[in-house]
Structure 1
Amino acid sequence: MPASDARAPIGPVRLHDYYRSSAAYRVRIALALKGVAYDRVAVDLLTGEQHDPAYLALNPQGLVPLLEIDGLRLNQSLAIMDYLDARVPKPRFVSTDPATRSRQLAMALMIACDIHPINNSRVLGYLKDELSADDAARSAWISHWVQAGFAALEVMAAEQASPYLGGEAPGIADICLVPQMYNARRFEVALDDFPTLVRIDAALTALAPFAAAHPDCFAPG
């Protein structure tokens, strides 16, 4: 961070994450965009490390990500991005213009609140273990909710005719989009009806901060 920026984060900065977690992926992108260096602590969601007493003492919700910064322990990816925007003002994730800010947050929340939560590992595990949903049923569930959310997002993205969801530069909605597109492809969700989102995703993933945060860079082994 520039030495002249008195509001630069105070180290050490430590990110507890799982490499394929969409929410953690968002925070890795956000930290890279802000130029904030951090130490990474892997939390294996598949083996249940998020439920270990030591981790629950840090994050009682037992989820990732958790960001330790400025002597604080921050959870929830959008709240973390909001903190980073206040602490490290450039580049901004959310506009200061009220109308633009509302639109950017709406698109981010469509992904982070309406698409992602009902397709994450906890929900898919419940569908399998408690409701006896087989692989085909779970795949149909994922595709339905991703495509329903993307259909609305595609319209909003096409209307504004800008390089990114955030406008001329990536913003909070773009940070949410890339991990969700990664998940859509991982679960083989058809994306033919969303050409604007595919175009924006391709432009974003070509940018160094987004590429550096990709799950493949952090896969175990």
Structure 2
Amino acid sequence: MASPIAEPAVVTEPLRLYSYWRSSAAYRVRIGLGLKKLPYETVPVHLIRDGGEQHSEAFREANPQELVPVLQHGARLYRQSMAILEYLDETWPTPPLLPALARDRARARALAQTIACDIHPLNNLRVLQYLEHEWNAPQPERDEWVRHWITKGFTAFEALLDDNPATGEFCEGDAPTIADCCLVPQVYNARRFGVDMERWPTIARIERACLALPAFDAARPERQPDCPEAQRA
């Protein structure tokens, strides 16, 4: 099923995104594709059903890490959401996901990596499954694990935003960047686990500004073709 993105850019070879509706890493890439107005086909990979379709032999050929997202552009496959976003930015430079100045690019990347490298990995599905299956951690303890690391990470992220005059309507300036592509999915995860976002007003403000844009709105998990009907409300 094609993604609901208007005014597509010129794509000479088809784009396919191997995705799961609730994967925050795939969510980042959907936002990037939307900001670039790139038409793409969603190939659902269900991370829970039958033990996880990402562990199938067929998908391991696409990504030996057994993780989504994977972007297929023509005959080539691209892995890792951050690398995919930079590939999109280099291949279709307008609108940019990274600022023009080196110092601003460094800050946008640092903010993005604060989430993608420090916060998100600790509440990733495979980590929670390991806590459940290998350590027998019950659901309340797993949920508290997630809340702890998101809270610690967002407290630092809020300070990084408040401590820099480059923070504008978005994380870096007044146009969305790779940092916002990472922030919005992580806020979605925080709300899933009952984290009160009101303690971080700058993050909450930026999320609202992002979700007002069509690209962010179309990328929401509940708008994806593989989202269960019960979760679409």
TM-score, L = length of structure 2? 0.89
In the aligned structure 1, how far is the partner of 2:168 from the partner of 2:207? Answer: 13
Which sits farther off after the overlay, 106-115 or 158-167?
Answer: 158-167
Please state how far the C-alpha of 1:167 moved relative to its aligned partner: 1.1
Identity %: 46
* Moved segments of 4+, more than 3 Å: none
The answer to whether residue 184 in structure 2 is matched with residue 178 in structure 1 is yes
- CA separation in 2, counterparts of 1:147 and 1:131? 23
Report the equivalent of 2:155: 151
Letter in 1 for 2:140: A
Is residue 193 of structure 1 aligned with residue 199 of structure 2? yes
CA distance, structure 1, for counterparts of residue 155 and residue 80 of structure 2: 25
1:26 to 28, 52, 55: 28
1:192 aligned counterpart, secondary structure? helix
Q: CA deviation at 1:20?
A: 0.1
| Paired residue secondary structure (2:67) | coil
After TM superposition, the structure 1 = structure 2 runs for residues 55-66 of structure 1, keeping only pairs within 5 Å, are: 55-66=59-70
Q: What is the match of residue 219 of structure 2?
A: 213
What are the ranges of 5 or more consecutive residues in structure 2 without an aligned counterpart? 1-5
Compute the displacement of 1:2 (Å): 9.0
Q: How does 1:155-170 map to 2 (within 5 A)?
A: 155-159=159-163, 160=165, 161-170=167-176
- Contact 1:165–1:171 at 8 Å: present in 2 too? yes
| Matched-pair contact (CA < 8 Å) for 1:166–1:172 | no
Verify the 8 A CA contact 2:7 2:37 in the aligned structure 1.
no
Could you list the per-position Cα deviations for residues 8-39 of structure 1 after superposition, in whole angstroms to 9, with x for gaps in the alignment? 54321111100000000011110010011001
What one-letter code is carried by the residue in structure 2 that aligns with 1:36?
A: L
Q: Distance in 1 between matches of 2:209 and 2:100?
A: 24
Aligned equivalents of 2:55 and 2:138: distance in 1? 26
Question: Offset of 1:128 from its aligned partner?
Answer: 1.1
Is the Cα–Cα contact under 8 Å of residues 11 and 70 in structure 1 kept in the other structure?
Answer: yes
Match of residue 43 from structure 2: 41
**Quick check: 1:114 aligned with 2:118?**
yes
- Which residue of structure 1 lines up, in the alignment, with residue 17 of structure 2? 15
Aligned mate of 1:97, from 101, 104, 112: 101
CA distance in structure 1 between the partners assigned to 2:107 and 2:18 by the alignment: 30
CA contact (8 A) 1:166 1:173 kept: yes
Unpaired runs of at least 5, structure 1: none
Amino acid of the residue matched to residue 134 of structure 1? P
Post-superposition offset of 1:83: 0.3
Answer whether contact 1:9 1:88 (CA < 8 A) is retained: no
- The number of residues matched between the two structures is 218
What amino acid does structure 2 have at the position aligned with 1:32? G
| TM-score for both structures, normalised by structure 1 | 0.94
